Structure 1
Amino acid sequence: MAKDGEQIRVGVDIGGTFTDVAMEVGGALHSVKVLTDYSFPENAIVKAIREVADVAGVNLAAIDTIIHGTTLATNALIERRGAKTAFITTKGFRDVIEMRTESRFEQYDLDIVLPAPLVARNERFVLDERVGADGSVLRALDIAEADALCDSIIADGYESVAIGFIHSYLNGNHEKIVRERLLARKPDISVSISSEVSPQMREFQRFNTVCANAFVKPLMASYLNRLVGRLRQEGTRCPVFMIHSGGGIISIESAIEFPVRLLESGPAGGAIFAAHIASRYGLDKVLSYDMGGTTAKICLIENKTPRTSKTFEVARTYRFKKGSGMPISIPVIEMVEIGAGGGSIATVDSMRQIRVGPHSAGSEPGPACYGRGGASPTVTDADLVLGRLDAGEFAGGTMRLDRSASDRALHNDVADRLGTDVAAAAYGLSEVVDENMSNAARMHAVENGKELSEFTMIAFGGAAPIHAARLCEKLGISQLLIPPGAGVGSAIGFLRAPFGFESVRSAYSRLSRFEAEAINATITDLIAEATSFVRAGVPDADPDLECTAYMRYVGQGWEVPVAISVRDYADADGVLFRKLFDERYESFFGRLIDGLDVEIVGWSLRATSRTVPPQKIGRTEKAADATVRGTRAIFDVQQGSFQTAAIISRHDMKPGDWAAGPAVITERETSTIIAASREVIMQADGCLLVRLKQDA
């Protein structure tokens, strides 16, 4: 029950299998998981909020804030399930989104097939206009031609229109004029322009991003408006905000206008959650590991801050290989995401090897053991057979798992084909998915020049605590933290996120002819744009500002991010920019290149509302044996056999309580498996510290 003056905040995360809700009432946290409703996702949200409000003893009208993250926009792109979309571009550039960058993501595949463009060729249209690389108008827009095209598009019944002209990131007037002509004819048509969605150079990435925004905009607008309406019907009166892919909070109105910003919103919440735990423990090197029902997400967090990027790919079509998906040019928390979740389906290929994912059983029909019609073996089925899950206590006892259904699925699709028993099939399935995740983590670390043995893992999501100890064994990581509420970690992360927005823009200049006036104007424009989004949620906010210049040697194809102070610069500051670039470049590549000029090609500015930093805590060591409720046999990979494991309720553990593996720590949303090589100690804040066994 909330006391007077206490804020009641709710975080909602829609995943491929479960919808997670976390409610914070004062300092107390309550959470629930319900199966995701694919047809009407808002139904699962309303159901979960009702349940968590009952648990907390809260009236829905008393909720102060709801913060929501979702993968619906991502799923719509992957499944090509969006609006009927037209694309308008400059004459001569109609096929840019089909030609891509003309690079081959698989160099030696003679039968390589490039992903189909989001908008088919017969739905792409051109206007004879041209803006130059300096932003000047080389060929003016013909209004009569634009009007005729607008009439044709409306007559053909398009729901949404994407507009992307060459060099419009420098001068977007032509895009704005065409948008005005369309809206004058049909005010309810959805229009996205690249100079607002992604004002950055590189036309393929920019065009693809504005097409993606237009493609999902009507779908997301319909869903978000339905959600707000349903919540109002249930009695809530609070504002609803969205978490975006960069890890900040924006208004519903901003999310509806720029839904492409929501593509990685759920995973971003998880990274924020892990960063919050890292700050509490003073950890500078953290590997965030989030495994849900459909995917696993891995993110590097250094100095309590997740790594970020200004581009990423969705819907990779060729073995998750970089370059085979749709590039999206928006700020995003950088992570690797693979199709490895509790619902990931296992098959046996022609070489008699077990393959797991990327296809998932999701919540409809779900794993075989859910008893909802699923017949394919999944990771959850394997975990049940290996003793890692309790059939009668899954999801706090609200769902009873069917062990016999798991046995049948594993026997029919894996064991029978390999000539082995069900337990061996489950072990093989589990090892394959764990190896897939550890390989992804290794690759992510290598690409960033990091050694994972120096990192602490923070694991959350419904399935991560089950698999985290095994991943630590594979990666050579000695310490693992399982935070309280780990099963709904992303939803809790939403409650820790600041109101924030990152504005990006391409603006070219060379350091040899440093133009302070133009640079100051760019920074001023970025500040105005980013702070306007923040103040839409916090009207009186005085946000913190972080600015990054993207710089490279003249002639290079890509750039490095260089942090700069937010202030007015003078022409003499070109020397300072060169010094900052040299330091950054050398930290990346180990040496500088003599005799080359340096150029700035882009900028980003992040504005975030100020939040209260978490209170730091010290490490708690062993004090007393944890209370054991019983035992059951679980399979331990290092031992190669089933071992008798202690069953311990997380709710019963007090700071300093500890147990040696093998053990299972149970809670409502998940279970934590303590391998035979590890021990677990309850920390003062409720985190479980899982580490290598120590003699002392």
Structure 2
Amino acid sequence: MAERAPTERPDPGSARLAVDIGGTFTDVALEVDGRLVTTKVLTTPAAPERGVLQGVHKVLETAAVPPSAVRLVIHGTTLATNAIIERKGARTALITTAGHRDALEMAHENRFEQYDIGVDRPPPLVPRHLRLPVVERLDHRGRILVPLDEESVHAVLPTLDEHGVEAVAIGLIHGYANPTHERRIAEILAAERPRISVTLASDVCPEVREYERVSTACANAYVQPLMARYLTGLARSLRESGLLCPFLLMTSGGGLTTLETAVTAPVRLVESGPAGGAILASHLARELALGDVLSFDMGGTTAKLCVIDGGEPLHSRTFEVARSYRFKQGSGLPVRIPVIEMVEIGAGGGSIAGVDDLDRIHVG
């Protein structure tokens, strides 16, 4: 419940605002003069910024704080995560080295469930007919073995048009060691198809391990149009509402980043909302002198668990989105980003019960 409005107006510049968008609810918290004023509104999936603005106006009105008094806005969201889980991102294509377009579907040689002959992997975010090969090749040191054939790049453009592609991930073999070819392909796309958003694997994940690197690039491309529209629209609406202060986004690793970086690399926001919950849990654990804690964060769409070890949440460099087989490691889509290590299940306060293929009752 929101705190009642104070009788005195706080000093200008003393307030901080935090917004967290979940799949069901949007929470807004205002910290002013040592007090915390909160509100909760329904998330508006078709235009998430509407729910945010509704909550912001409500909490400012309750606290009798003018927008000009807010000196910082921090935002966390599960929109990117939910877009991947629910497969509601952009129509995405992958441009990769000829002969390697199936690496995204082959994934790892190992099986996450050795004895289940009917095991299913989550389908890639990019279907095979949109994984487009180009002629080029680098070695592991980044030396050019086969120069980029620009005609092969131009040859894929009609396919992008035919299928209404909105975003393209570019992930070439050993592109982490030498991004020259990836950048040249991006230049061609920018000149020939400027409406298409482009993600370079060498930018979002310049590391070895082609499968994880390309999977991360595809995830970034998949959510980029959605997140770019949302974040730029929200920033504009906040400015129009009088909130002229810095606007920062929480990352999946628990840090903060700028709007510009978030628009370019929205994959780093995949677990930004739950990361905020884990940071709060670790803060409370330290205040209460509790070294080892298990945090549980249930929303309307998903539930998240995090181990707090010695007062700090566990961190990882790899995260899997949308695990499809009893939440087993290896059954999701790998994303290679700094992340607070959590287990997330697709069941929350608003989940619906059903029966799966094995006639078992499940929720979510």
Question: Do these two structures clear the TM 0.5 threshold for a shared fold by scoring above it?
Answer: yes
Cα contact 1:241–1:250 (8 A) shared by 2? yes
Return the alpha-carbon distance in structure 2 between the equivalents of residues 158 and 351 of structure 1: 36
Deviation at 1:51, TM superposition (A): 1.2
Match of 1:249 in 2: 256
Match of 2:40 in 1: 33
Amino acid corresponding to residue 143 of structure 1 in structure 2: E
Match of 2:181 in 1: 174
Match of 2:245 in 1: 238
Deviation at 1:113, TM superposition (A): 2.4
Unmatched tracts of structure 1, length 5 or more? 360-696
Match of 1:121 in 2: 128
Relative to structure 1, the CA distance from residue 20 to residue 142 in structure 2 (aligned partners, 3 Å threshold; closer, same or farther) is: same
Deviation at 1:62, TM superposition (A): 2.4
Mapping for residues 96-107 of structure 1, pairs under 5 Å: 96-107=103-114
Residues paired across the two proteins, number: 357
1:200 lines up with 2:200 in the alignment: no
Cα contact 2:15–2:33 (8 A) shared by 1? yes
Cα contact 2:73–2:246 (8 A) shared by 1? yes
Match of 2:95 in 1: 88
Match of 1:609 in 2: none
Amino acid corresponding to residue 196 of structure 1 in structure 2: D
Amino acid corresponding to residue 345 of structure 1 in structure 2: I
Relative to structure 1, the CA distance from residue 148 to residue 292 in structure 2 (aligned partners, 3 Å threshold; closer, same or farther) is: closer
What CA RMSD, in Å, does the superposition of the two structures yield over aligned residues?
2.1
1:61 lines up with 2:68 in the alignment: yes
The DSSP-based 3-state class of the residue aligned with 2:305 is: strand
Cα contact 1:10–1:65 (8 A) shared by 2? yes
Alignment identity in percent? 52
**1:215 pairs with one of 200, 219, 222:** 222
Partner deviation per Cα, 1:331-363 (whole Å, 9 max, x = no partner): 10001112342223345789997x452x2xxxx
Match of 1:190 in 2: 197
Match of 1:163 in 2: 170
Return the alpha-carbon distance in structure 2 between the equivalents of residues 137 and 349 of structure 1: 50
Match of 2:3 in 1: none
Match of 1:303 in 2: 310
Cα contact 2:13–2:70 (8 A) shared by 1? no
Cα contact 1:17–1:35 (8 A) shared by 2? yes
**2:236 pairs with one of 229, 246, 257:** 229
Mapping for residues 123-138 of structure 1, pairs under 5 Å: 123-138=130-145
Larger Rg: 1
The DSSP-based 3-state class of the residue aligned with 1:344 is: coil
Match of 1:9 in 2: 16
Unmatched tracts of structure 2, length 5 or more? 1-7
Cα contact 1:85–1:158 (8 A) shared by 2? yes
Return the alpha-carbon distance in structure 1 between the equivalents of residues 218 and 272 of structure 2: 19
The DSSP-based 3-state class of the residue aligned with 1:246 is: coil
Deviation at 1:294, TM superposition (A): 2.4
Relative to structure 1, the CA distance from residue 49 to residue 105 in structure 2 (aligned partners, 3 Å threshold; closer, same or farther) is: same
Match of 1:600 in 2: none
Match of 2:351 in 1: 344
Partner deviation per Cα, 1:280-335 (whole Å, 9 max, x = no partner): 23332222221222222111122322110011111122222221111111110001
Match of 1:42 in 2: 49
Cα contact 2:13–2:68 (8 A) shared by 1? no
Cα contact 1:291–1:341 (8 A) shared by 2? yes
Cα contact 2:96–2:171 (8 A) shared by 1? yes
Return the alpha-carbon distance in structure 1 between the equivalents of residues 86 and 306 of structure 2: 25
Amino acid corresponding to residue 89 of structure 1 in structure 2: T
1:266 lines up with 2:282 in the alignment: no
Partner deviation per Cα, 1:474-498 (whole Å, 9 max, x = no partner): xxxxxxxxxxxxxxxxxxxxxxxxx
Mapping for residues 247-646 of structure 1, pairs under 5 Å: 247-347=254-354, 355-357=361-363, 359=364
Relative to structure 1, the CA distance from residue 210 to residue 349 in structure 2 (aligned partners, 3 Å threshold; closer, same or farther) is: closer
Cα contact 2:294–2:306 (8 A) shared by 1? yes
Relative to structure 1, the CA distance from residue 163 to residue 46 in structure 2 (aligned partners, 3 Å threshold; closer, same or farther) is: same
Cα contact 2:12–2:69 (8 A) shared by 1? no
The DSSP-based 3-state class of the residue aligned with 2:352 is: strand
The DSSP-based 3-state class of the residue aligned with 1:231 is: helix
1:112 lines up with 2:131 in the alignment: no
Cα contact 1:340–1:356 (8 A) shared by 2? no
Match of 2:83 in 1: 76
Deviation at 1:203, TM superposition (A): 1.0
Return the alpha-carbon distance in structure 2 between the equivalents of residues 200 and 113 of structure 1: 28
Cα contact 2:170–2:201 (8 A) shared by 1? yes
Cα contact 1:217–1:258 (8 A) shared by 2? yes
Cα contact 1:344–1:356 (8 A) shared by 2? no
- Per the normalisation by structure 1, the TM-score is 0.49
Cα contact 2:137–2:146 (8 A) shared by 1? yes
Amino acid corresponding to residue 257 of structure 2 in structure 1: I
Partner deviation per Cα, 1:153-212 (whole Å, 9 max, x = no partner): 357542211000111111111111111111122333200000111112111111111011
Amino acid corresponding to residue 43 of structure 1 in structure 2: R
Partner deviation per Cα, 1:483-541 (whole Å, 9 max, x = no partner): xxxxxxxxxxxxxxxxxxxxxxxxxxxxxxxxxxxxxxxxxxxxxxxxxxxxxxxxxxx
1:19 lines up with 2:41 in the alignment: no
Relative to structure 1, the CA distance from residue 77 to residue 340 in structure 2 (aligned partners, 3 Å threshold; closer, same or farther) is: closer
Return the alpha-carbon distance in structure 1 between the equivalents of residues 137 and 207 of structure 2: 17
